[in-house]
Amino acid sequence: MFYKKILPLLKKRSDFPKISETVYALRTLSPVKKIIFLGALLVFVLSILLIAWKINAEFLVDVPADGGTLTEGIIGTPRFINPLLAISDADRDMSALVYSGLTRTDNQNGLIPDLAERYTISKDGLIYTFVLRPNIFWQDGEPVTSDDVIFTVKQAKDQNLKSPKRANWEGIKTEKVDEKTIRFILKKPYAPFLENTTLGILPKHIWKDATSGRMILSEFNIKPIGSGPYKIESINKDSSGIITSYTLEANKKFSLGEPHIDKLILKFYPSEEKLASAYENGDVDSINAVSPSLARKILKKESKLETFSLPRVFGVFFNQNNAKIFSQMEIRKALNMATDKQKIVDKVLNGFGSVDNYPLPPSTFGSLGDNKKETFSLEKAKEILKRNGWKIQKPEKNGDETDKTKKQAGETVLVKKTKDGTLRFEFSLSTSNIPELKETAELLKAMWEKLGAKVNLKIFEIGDLNQDVIRTRNYDALLFGEILGRNPDPFVFWHSSQRNDPGLNIAMYANVTVDKLLEDARAISDRKKRDEKYKKFQEEVIKDVPAVFLYSPQFIYIIPKSLLGVDQIKNITVPSERFAQIYKWHLKTDKIWKFFAKKEK
């Protein structure tokens, strides 16, 4: 063979030129040949380096690196950094960073274990058993046990505490199996129950002497100790003692791994205007809760704007008990058809939302899937009313001068004669003193008055709206939003048993078929079967037109371009859920070979 003949020759050192011989040979070359040789050598070396670089680049990938500080601006001041008492967005944002639940959202429409290592559900859907991870600790070093979970649920159910989470846990029995195992026993199947287990767990050893009424006054509401991804490093206050910022550091013992970003600084501002100014001045890197129009206006080159779906439906809900005009089906149908919903999305939300025609938003399962279907037609709406006997009110020949004045001023209110008297197409529209809702109400008034209605706007502060209008059901039509959650349970909004406070059936809707569908759906764990129930529920509701569904908004988040990981969020149910996967966010990156990156996973 050839290699057997050549190998002995290659092994002889005398067959290779010595260095001195090579140098001598180069010296004997003419200047032109030397240049040619050196050029060829340079090209050869560069080619080798380029090939090596390309091979290296082919096998390198970016991975998150630890380090950096993110400063975020938030509207409001936290008072209750406590999962059981949090009432404001500032409270919930801080609670989401400091505390952990048995599970947490993956921001992809699902839940993942957090403090829990695993859980099982009995075949009858009544028993949920959770096993905690073996090495989980509170931020003061104490271990997390099943006693902490049972204590937290007990406090959530305490009537004296009046926790917003109380309704989620009523009727649910908790049992301690051992130091790391807890069992929840339901009276009847309730498919969305797992959502409750995202509740942040409190450390019993910290709170055991500050329960019920005393919990509200505890300093641990502003100096919390949890088991979440971040822990309190320092608190800044102004001269009046009001908290202006928190500095948080990464929790190295967080159950799902130490966060990549070393520090978070959360600064608090009293208004949208102050928040926007802080962002423009560079005092904060990221902000949310600003209006769509302002977000586009102040966005800087070094920032990016992320949007997430929110499972919320905004609409106008008719109260037939308060305004008999809405007992007329043609009125409800005509108002719905005379509503240019896309115009509202474009003008009020600046496109940061989607048209909604149904009780469930597009971002949840059970959606009918054709929310973009065009339903707006002023001419068809007018025709519906005309066919059903609605006519422009004409002043009597020798009648009231007021009627004549109204006619001359251009007021064209429709009326309809019935056996019980004359119905006048007039009603009030109540809503909150929030810019987007006020602007929406004004657009609706203009649209509906073209139809022949007289709409009287009533604007309330949010506290007054809740207490004096919604709870008492004292409204004709209510422009409001419903938060349905990731695993929707529209029971509280549409079941007839929820028509009175504290229920949230603000349309005062009653339908036996819908009641049965909602009762069945919340007891079905099979997602496909529950999906079918919700589709039938929606089809039934839209036949009756108890409301004009308008839009589902998007959550707007302005962040620095250097912040990575946020783009993995698909949707959130409340603003604080943007922090659910914050331990994966990063401001810095490293390059490593793919082989090692796979091993790290």
Helix H or strand E encompassing 422: strand 421-424
pLDDT in tens, 53-80: 776 666 677 789 999 999 999 999 999 9
Question: What is the C-alpha separation between 291 and 368, in angstroms, rounded?
Answer: 29
User: Is 595 domain-assigned?
Assistant: no
122, containing H or E segment: none
CATH number of 437's domain: 3.10.105.10
Q: Has residue 5 got a pLDDT over 70?
A: no
pLDDT of residue 38: 76
CATH of residue 201? 3.40.190.10
Highest-pLDDT range among 10-14, 264-268, 409-413, 588-592 = 264-268
Report pLDDT for 32: 78
Q: Are residues 479 and 354 in the same domain?
A: yes
Give the pLDDT score at 219.
94
358 inside domain: yes
What is the three-class DSSP state of 454?
strand
pLDDT at 488: 83
Whether the pLDDT of residue 400 is over 80: the answer is no
Evaluate if residue 236 carries a pLDDT over 90.
yes
Domain identity same for 57 and 126: no
Same domain? 279 vs 337: no
Domain count, the chain: 3
- Note whether residue 570 is domain-resident: yes
Q: How far is CA 460 from the centre of its chain?
A: 25
Whether residues 146 and 31 fall in one domain: no
The model's pLDDT over 289-340, given as tens digits with 9 standing for 90+, comes to 888 889 989 999 999 999 998 889 999 999 999 999 999 999 999 999 999 9
Q: What average pLDDT does this structure show over 179-204?
A: 96
Which residue would you say has higher pLDDT here, 33 or 594?
33
Percent of the chain with pLDDT over 70: 88
Cα–Cα distance measured from residue 391 to residue 297, given in angstroms and rounded to the nearest whole number? 46
pLDDT at 372: 53
* Domain shared by 327 and 454, yes or no: yes
The DSSP letter of residue 466 is I
- Please give the model's pTM, rounded to 2 decimal places: 0.82
Q: How far apart are CA 108 and CA 127, in angstroms?
A: 26
Per-residue pLDDT, 46: 83
User: Can you tell me which residue has the tokens 């520090």?
Assistant: 263
28/55 same-domain check: yes
* pLDDT confidence of residue 273: 94
For residue range 494-514, what is the model confidence (pLDDT) as tens digits?
999 999 988 899 999 999 999
Q: Tell me the two tokens of residue 466.
A: 């809740």
**Is 438 a domain residue?**
yes
Q: Say whether both 161 and 250 belong to one domain.
A: yes
CA dihedral defined by 339, 371, 314, 525, rounded to 10 degrees?
150
Q: Is beta strand 286-288 parallel, antiparallel or unpaired with respect to 103-105?
A: unpaired
Between 181 and 570, whose confidence is greater? 181
Domain that holds residue 321: 312-390+425-554
Question: Does residue 113 belong to any structural domain of this protein?
Answer: yes
Q: Are residues 143 and 211 in the same domain?
A: yes
**What pLDDT does 597 receive?**
57
CA dist 279 → 65, 71, 298 (Å) = 26, 10, 8
Look at residue 601 in the predicted model and tell me its pLDDT.
Answer: 38
Report pLDDT for 187.
94
pLDDT confidence bin for 212, thresholds 50/70/90: confident
The pLDDT tens digits for 358-376 are 999 886 776 676 555 667 9
- The per-residue pLDDT for 1 is 47
Mean pLDDT of the region 263-278: 96
Residues 230 and 183 in one domain: yes
Q: With respect to residue 153, please indicate whether it lies within any of the assigned structural domains.
A: yes
| pLDDT on residue 139 | 96
Per-residue pLDDT at 162 exceeds 70: yes
- In a shared domain, residues 54 and 73: no
Task: Give the per-residue pLDDT at 145.
Answer: 98
Say if 206 falls within a structural domain: yes
- Regarding whether 157 and 50 lie in a shared domain, the answer is no
Are 534 and 569 found together in one domain? no
pLDDT for 386: 96
Q: Tokens in use for 165?
A: 């989470």
**Mean pLDDT, rounded, of the chain:** 89
Task: Give the pLDDT of residue 101.
Answer: 98
Written as one letter, the residue type at 149 is V
